[in-house]
Amino acid sequence: MPERLDPVDVVTVGAGWTGGIVAKELAEDGKQVVSIERGRDRSPDDYLTMHNELRYALRYEMFQDLSKGTLTFRLDPDEEALPMRQLGSFLPGKGVGGAGVHWNGQTWRFLPYDFQIRSKTLDRYGPEKIPDDMLLQDWGITYEELRPYYREFEKMAGISGNAGNIEGNIQDEGNPFEGPRKIDYPTEAMITTPVLERFMDAAASQGNHPFMAPSANLSEPYTNPDGVARGPCQYCGYCERFGCEWGAKADPTVTVLPVAEETGNFELRTHCDVRRLQYDEQQGRVTGVKYVDTRDNTVYIQPAETVALTAYALWNVKLLLLSGIGEPYDPENPEDSGNVGKNYCYQNFGGSATGFFDDEEWNLYMGAGALGAAADDWNGNNFDHTDLDFIHGGNIAITQTGKRPIANNASPPDLDRSWGSEFKRASLKYHNSSVGISAQGAVMPHRTNYLDLDPNYTDQWGDPLLRMTFNWTENDRKLAEFEGERCAEIMEAMNPTKMQHSKKVEGQNENYDIRPYQSTHNTGGAIMGPDSDISVVNSYLQCWDAENLFIPGASAFAHNSGYNPTGTVGALAYRAADGMKQYFKRPRMLD
């Protein structure tokens, strides 16, 4: 029998960005908060030995152990899904801080267009622009409503950048296409290196509006409103797949979690795997969580007044399905089925260009995860799609993240192999003389892209694995082709000796390939919306089927934009925490 523990006010299932933000906000509000994390505890002291590319970047030390829990994958609902045995296309984290420890720090606000995408697309182009099998919908919230929560996340993390739009006044050095903001970024933009300046000059010569990208790698010393002081980035080049021992990269273990702990109202339980949310369907409430302490396999029931489901996006959906909360989505009957698992989306990096420069060399081994420059001219609805057969677009950027030697061996297109003496000479020659431009394309929801439980395969506890059904659509393919041409135009203006460019989505025969890494930007499955007919949560990330359950995170995205998701994940977490505070004052469905 499970051991029943004393009740608490709040349980968070996971202690990453969303769990950390909710824990800090509610603990400061005087609530007793328990965060349950299946990985181990971590702090900057653990990151001191992480400058080991083989161990961390290639052998995935910080990521999930797929021998204990994985997912199954198929391209089409008619196929049988098979388990993912090796990490590839995306890298879910493990341990305290989650993906917020090993991320790059690229931090964006989604465009105002994104939150009202269906309405704005219909208004500008008419109903024929949206294919019947594209399940496009508004998010149930506007950019203006989310704007203060974006600001709160940026101030907490100390985001570095240049504002482009302050209350409608376009600023020279920022992104002129961004939604309006009240004030500038908390810290100045990162340094403009020679290769970033080269990109910006080339992009401007093509009529684009380049700017330094916003970054969670601090450009200068900063103390946030919670009193957390952090030092500036050292440009060491070890951000993605690594923790920052310096604390310059914002992550939950150096920002929100220590503040939560200082309140005395917070408890972190590590090595504990939540298997179910305790759900009372008659009452429309959750009563707590059931979890296993994996150190001795003891099973516990933790009662709670409220629960925040703050695991990784995919695992949020799995826990909802396992716990019987909400009705599963059925692609054969999308209009009359449930919404749990619907609108799974990813990120489209099909458009890119690489240049090789014979007579120039940059110090590309130095860098930071979010050190980059970008142009938003071909993102969202910033350009006219009337004569184009796709919607949305992508953020076009160049990044100088640090060229570590094992994973970076670019060779020019006329060298038709990746081994041998000729390849070795070329990879050495171009290690600091080749750069890439890529478009981070949006992905729209499709009727047959979704998440559900697999009927054949189980995890270490005997529970069904999550099953992912996903493939690129015509919108993805056309978007990649268009954005690839834009990348090539900018690269040509950078005047390389040789170049190659891609305008196809990642995969064989233009089908999605789950094996090569692309991004850890999995979204959807527990989406937000204006009502329960088309969504799982409301604008406060409150579950329609369980009023005391809040589900922030990328699982709430109704589609994926042309940006990294973390800024929006953070804003939604602050919004959810605000909703939970309101709920404690007067329990109800919020509006």
Q: Each residue of 550-573: pLDDT tens digit?
A: 999 999 999 999 999 999 999 999
Nearest-angstrom CA–CA distance, 189 and 220: 9
Q: What's residue 424's pLDDT?
A: 86
CB atoms under 10 Å from CB of 185, counted, come to 21
Nearest-angstrom CA–CA distance, 497 and 41: 48
233-256 pLDDT, tens digit each: 999 999 999 999 999 999 999 999
Average pLDDT, the chain: 96
Judge whether residue 33 has pLDDT over 80: yes
| Nearest alpha-carbon partner for 74 in 294, 269, 344, 272 | 344
In sequence order, which residues have a C-beta less than 8 Å from that of residue 440 and are 6 or more positions away?
347, 348, 349, 394, 395, 396, 397, 519, 562, 563, 564
Nearest-angstrom CA–CA distance, 587 and 458: 37
Sign of the dihedral through C-alpha 364, 402, 355, 370: negative
Q: What residues are annotated to the active site?
A: 521
Q: Which two tokens stand for residue 17?
A: 């960005």
44-100 pLDDT, tens digit each: 888 998 899 999 999 999 999 898 889 999 999 999 999 999 999 999 998 999 999
- CA distances to 62, 351, 455 from 264, rounded to whole Å, are 29, 49, 44
Judge whether residue 304 has pLDDT over 70: yes
179-196 pLDDT, tens digit each: 999 999 999 999 999 999
Confidence of residue 477 (pLDDT cuts 50, 70, 90): very high
How much is the pTM?
0.97
33-36/8-13 β-pairing: parallel
∠ Cα 266 267 272 (to 5°): 145
Judge whether residue 417 has pLDDT over 70: no
